[in-house]
């Protein structure tokens, strides 16, 4: 990266980390605001340089049309096994019939799977209706983890987990929803990544 200016290196690092975290690129306005730039034209100049030098690819037809070249980004295929309720629990049915492509990162090692969020009880955790969540399969959780929980005869729900004195509290991340208290909860996994559905 010796052929990049310091600002270009900073923008490239920001775009790279943003894509890895969100599976989509930041908008030019977000880049402008992040670095306190005065005009979008300055962002265009830096991005054009990064594209011309092979550090980024760009689809000019899209607002979030920046991509990492294949040699700079590795992906994994994660099985999409069904829908998870962010609200009233629904029957847990696993149907691995398709896969979604996500950027490889250290937190996604091991047995992982994807679910599509249904409902809005977890919006304060950044999980919105239609988003995809990447889950690491495990049967234990720490207080504060967002978990896939099975309750009440095979009903699945997505909530924050808290072990209290005598019961387990499954806490929504939306003040319009009440917490659930159970003496028995089966943990099916802990959320490791959220992928925003922009459609």
What pLDDT score was predicted for residue 13?
92
What pLDDT score was predicted for residue 1?
58
Q: Are 167 and 181 in contact (CB under 8 A)?
A: yes
What pLDDT score was predicted for residue 109?
73
What pLDDT score was predicted for residue 69?
81
What pLDDT score was predicted for residue 7?
92
The Cβ of residue 48 has, within 10 Å, a number of other Cβ atoms equal to: 12
What pLDDT score was predicted for residue 89?
61
Dihedral sign (CA 149, 152, 157, 163): negative
CA nearest to 186, candidates 149, 143, 137: 149
Q: Could you say which of 25, 32, 121, 160 is catalytic?
A: 121
CA nearest to 121, candidates 186, 175, 182, 191: 175
Does the pTM of the predicted model rise above 0.85? no
Q: Are 179 and 172 in contact (CB under 8 A)?
A: yes
CA nearest to 112, candidates 138, 94, 89: 138
Contacts of 42 (CB under 8 A, 6+ apart): 32
One digit per residue, the tens of pLDDT, for the chain of length 199 reads: 567 889 999 999 999 999 888 888 999 999 999 999 989 999 999 999 999 888 898 988 888 999 888 655 567 788 888 888 886 665 555 656 688 877 776 667 778 999 999 999 999 999 999 999 999 999 999 999 999 999 988 888 999 999 998 899 999 999 999 999 999 999 999 999 888 765 5
- Note if 121 is an active site residue: yes
What pLDDT score was predicted for residue 111?
87
What pLDDT score was predicted for residue 2?
63
DSSP code, position 104: -
Q: Are 67 and 56 in contact (CB under 8 A)?
A: yes
Q: Could you say which of 32, 159, 160, 193 is catalytic?
A: 159
Domains of the chain (ranges; CATH) run 6-72 (1.10.10.10), 75-195 (2.10.109.10)
Write the DSSP assignment of 8-74 as a string of letters: HHHHHHHHHHHHHHHSSPPPHHHHHHHHT-S-HHHHHHHHHHHHHTTS-EE-TTSTT-EE--GGG--
- Note if 21 is an active site residue: no
């Amino acid at each position: 990266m010796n052929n990049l200016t310091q600002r270009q290196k900073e923008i490239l690092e920001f775009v790279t980390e943003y894509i890895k975290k969100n599976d989509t690129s930041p908008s030019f306005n977000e880049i402008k605001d992040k670095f306190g730039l005065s005009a979008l034209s300055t962002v265009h100049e830096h991005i054009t340089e990064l594209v011309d030098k092979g550090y980024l690819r760009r689809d000019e037809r899209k607002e979030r049309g920046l991509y990492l070249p294949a040699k700079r980004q590795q992906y994994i295929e994660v099985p999409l096994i069904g829908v998870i309720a962010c609200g009233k629990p629904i029957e847990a049915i696993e149907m691995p019939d398709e896969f979604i492509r996500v950027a490889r990162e250290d937190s996604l090692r091991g047995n992982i799977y994807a679910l599509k969020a249904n409902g809005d009880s977890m919006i304060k955790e950044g999980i919105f209706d239609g988003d995809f969540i990447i889950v690491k399969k495990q049967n234990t959780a720490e207080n504060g983890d967002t978990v896939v929980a099975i309750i009440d005869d095979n009903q699945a729900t997505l909530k924050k987990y808290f072990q209290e004195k005598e019961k387990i509290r499954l806490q929504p991340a939306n003040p319009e929803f009440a917490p659930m208290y159970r003496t028995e909860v089966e943990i099916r996994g802990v959320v490791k990544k959220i992928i925003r559905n922009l459609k």
